[in-house]
A and B are shown apart, each in its own frame.
With several copies, the nearest count.
Chain A
Amino acid sequence: MGELRLMKGNEALAEAAIRAGMDAYFGYPITPQSEVLEYLTREAYRRTECTILQAESEIASINMVYGAAGAGARVMTSSSSPGISLMQEGISYIAGAELPCLLVNVNRGGPGLGTIQPSQGDYFQSVKGGGHGDYRLIVLAPATVQEMADFVQEGWDLADKYRNPVLILTDGALGQMMEKVDLRPQVDRKAHDAPGWATTGKTGDRERNIITSLFIKPEEMEQVNLRLQEKYRLIEKNEIRVQEINTEDADFIIVAYGLSARIGRKVMELLRDEGMKVGLIRPITLWPYPYETISKAAEHVKGFLALEMNAGQMVEDVRLAVNGRCPVGHYGRMGGIIPSPEEVVDEIKTMYSKIQ
């Protein structure tokens, strides 16, 4: 085990990035994630001589990420909802050009300028594709400051393994709050060198490398799309991560991710105390989504509740997994409000009584 600290989620993420041997970070300030850039400008260059650049905008940031990733660098950007929306074209390009990189969305309440308080309103954008075209991001949803740190290294490893952008979808509360975090040791930046496909200069011993997402001929473009889809099937096969608590004997299951999963866990405990057999499924990868896990559970439970800080987004994936075998409810708060365990308990009780 490494080094125990009390840190903000945003700072833990930034510290973890330095330790994971990040080569470059490009970003633009926005509440509630500015601490990432602030922490990095304080700490990163002096420690590993990596590049930390405050870009003129999120659009510049994501395209700098494109350039650096295309040159084989271990690169990251972070922002919050409105800034992530601005990056959608760039993200689609990155996915199309199959560039490994790490994106972070510290989700705040929308739509529009909205509020800077925590939200999970960007689920659809993250997992169904907010940009144009058929592409997928690998989406990791931390629920603790510890995971804010851990998922950085894991995110980059996944990105490199599949040449695919990885998104850490978190929220303002997880970004701003301080918790214990156990930090991993520093990785040497030299440890990883640029992959063979990267544009590092065409040496005599190889053909030139090209980073592009343009395939003007439909036949070609379709081949590219098919290759991407194949890759996505492979990722769905290999990389689903999910946490199950008390699902074996459960006859009712709460499905929640990130901050909501913490509430969900509390709700589960409260209801278990009252003798109700409630379980929790926490998707850790939002894409690929743990349809299987939920589907299996649907065999023996009486109902599900999707608990989200939005108007009902992930609940569609739960329904797709359950596929009509039992009722799937949704409980959500919006606008930056975190549901209290008590209100969810009541919600489940009423739903439960209907099911009986």
Chain B
Amino acid sequence: MEHNMQEIEHHYDEMEIICERPATLLDARMHYCPGCGHGVAHRILMEAVEELGIQEQTIGVAPVGCSVFAYHYMNIDMQEAAHGRATAVATGIKRCYPDKYVFTYQGDGDLAAIGTGETVHTVNRGENVLIVFINNAIYGMTGGQMAPTTLISQKTSTTPYGREVPFMGNPLKITELLAQLPGAFYVTRQAVNTPANVRKAKKALLNGLKWQALKKGTCFVEIVSNCPTNWGMKPVESNQWLEENMLPYYPLGDMKVPSKEELENG
């Protein structure tokens, strides 16, 4: 619609803030491209840390991927892991500090390609950490190559004619695989493309963090996200594409949820 751009008067001081940048997220310009889901994921993760009041006990592990600089934005102690090894790094930290809250934040290339072995075994050991998995079906940082999660016939810089199953196999639903492992305590798939999904995703991160205290296994939160830049779309389009193409193949929802009992006798 055409807006008649008249000036709006603001009376902020007469009103109360009901939603603002969390204190756990530093007030720095993020290097992410316009409309990139990483930013939302960062914010809700830090909101969760803030709401749980565990900033002082939380140690994060950044991956190699576009979110490699997560430690520039998250106001907590963090380690930068080698590509694919974030869960091993997290294991090293958590085994030495079983009472701290430890999470990894990883892309699909990091977690589901080069890091497959570490991911599977970390979950299989049931390490009491939270794994946040940002699935944008592409290698963002390196310029848009095929990821294990790239959709069939999706064009990327290394599948210029689209992903062909006979040569590159099917998109890997690693989250479904991990949900099979007894070491997994909580496994869910979320998205951040709509306000409603953002709310749900944040709740999932809250659970994933706080349930570490129960020491009953790994919490795994996949977040289906976008990469406007390498998908070659405007941010708004990219969210539509995500809705229409990613979600059908990567349906949202919980794959493994702790039972009442498991949560009670913590």
Does chain A touch chain B in the assembled complex, meaning CB atoms less than 8 Å apart?
yes
Determine if A64 is an interface residue (Cβ-Cβ < 8 Å): yes
Please state if A41 and B118 are interface contacts (CB–CB under 8 Å): no
Distance of B135 from chain A, by nearest CB (Å): 16
Number of A-B contacts (CB under 8 A): 176
Determine if B201 is an interface residue (Cβ-Cβ < 8 Å): no
How many of B's residues come within 8 Å of A, CB to CB?
Answer: 53
User: Can you name 19 A-B pairs with beta carbons within 8 Å?
Assistant: A29-B139, A51-B95, A57-B113, A59-B88, A59-B118, A60-B85, A64-B89, A66-B79, A67-B88, A73-B96, A89-B82, A97-B80, A113-B68, A200-B59, A201-B56, A201-B58, A211-B79, A212-B79, A214-B80
Interface size class of A (residues with CB under 8 A): 35 or more
Q: How far is the CA of A209 from the CA of B61 in the complex (A)?
A: 12
Please state if B79 and A70 are interface contacts (CB–CB under 8 Å): yes
B84, B93, B113, B116: the one contacting A67 at CB < 8 Å is B93
Determine if B194 is an interface residue (Cβ-Cβ < 8 Å): no
Determine if B175 is an interface residue (Cβ-Cβ < 8 Å): no
Determine if A55 is an interface residue (Cβ-Cβ < 8 Å): yes
**Chain A 100-133 near chain B by CB (<8 Å), digits 1 or 0:** 0000000000001100000000000000000000
Task: Specify which chain B residues have a CB less than 8 angstroms from the CB of A298 in the assembled complex.
Answer: none
Query: 8 Å CB contacts to A: which residues of B33-80?
Result: 55-59, 61-62, 64, 68-69, 71, 74-80
Residue in chain A with minimal CB distance to B124? A56
Please state if B77 and A63 are interface contacts (CB–CB under 8 Å): no
Please state if A34 and B92 are interface contacts (CB–CB under 8 Å): no
Residue of B71, B74, B142, B160 ringed by the most chain A CB atoms within 10 A: B142
Residue in chain B with minimal CB distance to A205? B56
Determine if A95 is an interface residue (Cβ-Cβ < 8 Å): no
Q: How far is the CA of A56 from the CA of B139 in the complex (A)?
A: 12
Please state if A210 and B78 are interface contacts (CB–CB under 8 Å): yes
Q: Say whether chain A's binding surface is mostly helix, strand, loop, or mixed.
A: mixed
Distance of A139 from chain B, by nearest CB (Å): 22
B62, B96, B167: the one contacting A68 at CB < 8 Å is B96
Residue of A67, A70, A204 ringed by the most chain B CB atoms within 10 A: A67
Query: 8 Å CB contacts to A: which residues of B71-123?
Result: 71, 74-85, 88-93, 95-97, 100, 109, 113-114, 116-118, 121
Query: 8 Å CB contacts to A: which residues of B134-160?
Result: 139, 141-143, 145-146, 148, 157-160
Please state if A37 and B145 are interface contacts (CB–CB under 8 Å): yes
Please state if B142 and A31 are interface contacts (CB–CB under 8 Å): yes
B residues sitting closer than 8 Å to A (CB atoms) are: 55-59, 61-62, 64, 68-69, 71, 74-85, 88-93, 95-97, 100, 109, 113-114, 116-118, 121, 139, 141-143, 145-146, 148, 157-160, 167-168
Residue of A58, A61, A200, A201 ringed by the most chain B CB atoms within 10 A: A201
Task: Specify which chain A residues have a CB less than 8 angstroms from the CB of B58 in the assembled complex.
Answer: 201-202
Residue in chain A with minimal CB distance to B172? A56
- Which of A20-28, A332-340, A345-353 has 4 or more CB atoms under 8 Å from chain B? A20-28
Determine if A203 is an interface residue (Cβ-Cβ < 8 Å): yes
**Chain A 122-152 near chain B by CB (<8 Å), digits 1 or 0:** 0000000000000000000000000000000
Q: How far is the CA of A67 from the CA of B93 in the complex (A)?
A: 5
